[in-house]
Structure 1
């Protein structure tokens, strides 16, 4: 009898020791996490496969699934399929550190613009682009029956490309204003969702692909919708052989973007616009194939006619003195200035008048404004750079 009691006590002590060791390991891991900063990777929990050993299967968002140990301090009740979890990528193997707060598509609300204030009238010049972009984006959203009756699929994605400052982002926002207004057509107003490629790249590890998934989920929930990726080259340059952690993360974001563009059908009424300052040939070929990007709209540096329209638009609210014809002279210069630089010339001319405590902007102010802007723009061999 006494011997059996001693055995039971020994077994209880052994179990208690095992629990204390497990707790010590958990505290050690927790301390290690606290002293090494935030999690390395954000993943999605697929299932818990072993309650006793505390192991789980997670998805990294790029068709990879891993079986990882779960930190002892993590609440088992929170480990539900579909939950977003934080992993630490240690030398041995990734470890599940924590369950992140439940988030839904509402995260994207700051990116959703009900109606951007820019209108087509605010975009001087770019007449050809003003025709091409609405044809590819507006018509499928406002009059899908035209494509159905013709028996063709509308363009799914559009790439806006050209040098910086030529109006790509501004025209995209003007188009968004048009499709977001109730007067845009027969269908309900469209939702405009904008995100920068650089924002996705600078996310925590694993967060970028998840943001892309949530962004498209938001677009489908609020359809008809337009998703605008500015600076798409940040995530879509041709894939190199580099195996750095940063390059792998960018690759995962691109893979998720490709999967999402393939994953929604035409009936979802979701269109994608991308903008880049890079040559399209520098972007990943998989992104540009028909079915993902069906239309490319090029933005070139403005010619004389467009520049005159831009000068007129930029000075429409200014008090101009004599010599307004000088704007014709500026527009006629073969200087390769972009629309943004034309706007900068006008603003700098206005600042010259302000510094002189004058309410009228003179010819001399425009001369000085032009000189300052031209001096701050990098050109080669004393010539303005032309995009090719």
Structure 2
């Protein structure tokens, strides 16, 4: 139906067209189109009246209640729930995928870092090898300052505050241990084994000689005296305190060669649990000035640090002869060594349980200051064995030998020749060697006679070459 309305206008040239929409049931649009040709005032009036009289659009119908079909409704709810579960699983899947990607990135980073660390390790190992490359300077470790630094003494007598390589085992850095120093920076780069130690060292439990008092024939008085002077003060020091006396500080073993002085010192080292330091007197005589007195100080310092300890100085006459007006630098150096020895013996603290044993063949040449009481309180003489001592020495030397029943050891004991315990041992050894030459397993009297003549009964013509 056409609802357009035409109105006459006074001036056709000023006619304008206005469009107004009216809703109709058949129109798809909510408002039908109304065209009015009028003046501007009329157009505005018609538009306002149309807006006022236009019916409002119908209200939305209320939502229809759900159909009364329980099975269909529950199926729809289950579908919605399953959809939500699928969404949750999908989210978890994406989260796990992101986590795997992150772990893969971390794994690649760790592998790269491991490669870098391996390269750093190889470079560090090469640097350590370069630092430890020879030649190195030999020094003596004095003490540890902290975990990375220590004090080291050089062969020239100077002490250095040095850094310690991080690869060094700190448990091996003990006083008097030989160490290797870098030749430029003096850094401690290695610890030398005890075999390479040219200075004084302790005898370990496995290095102590396997010599007992029973292995020494005779010397009963000497054994008793040295045990009273050395062993008893170390094991039962309270006895001397109860009596109110001081135990002997030093012991001098003197006598002809081969009478058992050194062997008795070995037995003392075997039977005591104290630290045992063995030194030969000639070792103190060094090339450089002041090195000998320094070694004497090191010996006593090492004994104090490992107390209770025993210091055994063999052939002490090499450094302890009577002083005189020295004319050469070597003689003056030996006298300085003696003065340092006198100072250490009379100056070290008695409570540290350090005992000194000295052995010599020439007690008459020793300096009187060394022999005085307070330094060497006990002097034990080792004379040539008498008849009883000879018998005991022969019994000890032949205890493990396969002797014939015809061998009479008393015949050799009763002979008036002045022989030492070392001569008796040499006689027994020579008798056994003579039996070996004859391809025999039993030692006969003629073998002993041969050994006796070889070591004791030498013709005077054998020494004409030396006259």
Query: TM-score, normalised on structure 2?
Result: 0.57
The question of 1:343 aligning with 2:425 is answered yes
**2:303/2:311 contact within 8 Å kept:** yes
Structure of higher RCO (CA pairs closer than 8 Å, 6+ residues apart) = 1
Equivalent runs, 1:22-61 vs 2, <5 Å: none
Partner of 1:162: 255
1: distance between equivalents of 2:379 and 2:319? 18
- Equivalent residues of 1:322, 1:363 under 8 A apart: no
- Is the Cα contact below 8 Å between 2:230 and 2:355 reproduced in 1? yes
Instruction: Tell me if the contact between 1:158 and 1:273 (Cα under 8 Å) persists in the aligned partners.
Output: yes
Pairwise CA distance, 1:309: 1.0
2:434 is matched with 352
- Of 375, 378, 388, 1:305 maps to 388
Whichever of the two has the greater Rg, that structure is 2
After TM superposition, list the pairs within 5 Å mapping 1:122-161 onto structure 2. 122-161=215-254
Aligned residue in 2 for 1:361:
443
- Alignment length, in residue pairs? 288
Equivalent residues in 2 for 1:188-227, closer than 5 Å: 190-202=274-286, 204-227=288-311
- Partner residue of 2:376 out of 293, 296, 316: 293
Q: Are the counterparts in 2 of residues 86 and 99 from structure 1 also a CA contact under 8 Å?
A: no
Matches within 5 A, 1:371-382: 371-375=453-457
Q: Which residue of structure 2 aligns with residue 105 of structure 1?
A: 176
Deviation at 1:332, TM superposition (A): 1.1
Distance in 2 between the 1:354 and 1:109 partners? 41
Once residues 223 and 144 of structure 1 are traced to their aligned partners in structure 2, the CA distance between those partners, rounded to angstroms, is: 13
Q: Distance in 2 between matches of 1:165 and 1:258?
A: 28
Deviation, structure 1 residue 205: 3.7
After TM superposition, give the deviation of residue 240 of structure 1 in Å: 2.1
Counterpart of 1:334 in structure 2 is: 416
Within 5 Å, which residues of 2 pair with 1:258-277? 258-277=342-361
Q: How does 1:219-238 map to 2 (within 5 A)?
A: 219-238=303-322
- Runs of 5+ consecutive residues of structure 1 not aligned to the other structure: 1-41, 43-77, 88-95, 181-189, 382-388
Say which SS state the counterpart of residue 105 (structure 1) adopts: coil
- Cα deviation, residue 270, structure 1: 0.3
CA displacement at 1:82 relative to structure 2: 8.1
Q: CA RMSD in A?
A: 3.2
Partner of 2:99: none
Q: 1:152 Cα deviation (Å)?
A: 1.0
Q: Return the alpha-carbon distance in structure 2 between the equivalents of residues 369 and 356 of structure 1.
A: 14
Q: Which residue of 1 aligns with 2:400?
A: 317
Aligned to 1:17: none
- Tell me the distance in 2 between the aligned counterparts of 1:267 and 1:318: 46
Distance 2:161 2:397 in 1: 48
Corresponding position of 2:156: 86
* C-alpha separation in 2, matches of 1:240 and 1:111: 34
Change in 2 beyond 3 A, CA 1:203/1:147? farther
State the TM-score, normalizing by the size of structure 1: 0.68
Contact kept, 8 Å, 2:176 with 2:302, in 1: the verdict is: yes
1:176-231 Cα shifts (integer Å, max 9, x gaps) = 21112xxxxxxxxx111110102222554422211111111111111101100000
- Alpha-carbon spacing, 1:378–1:290, altered in 2? closer, same or farther (3 Å): farther
Q: Are 2:216 and 2:260, in contact at CA under 8 Å, matched by a contact in 1? A: yes
* Local SS of the residue matching 2:357: strand
Closer, same or farther in 2 for the Cα pair 1:376/1:218, shift >3 Å? farther
Q: In structure 2, list runs of 5 or more residues that go unmatched.
A: 1-138, 140-148, 163-172, 178-196
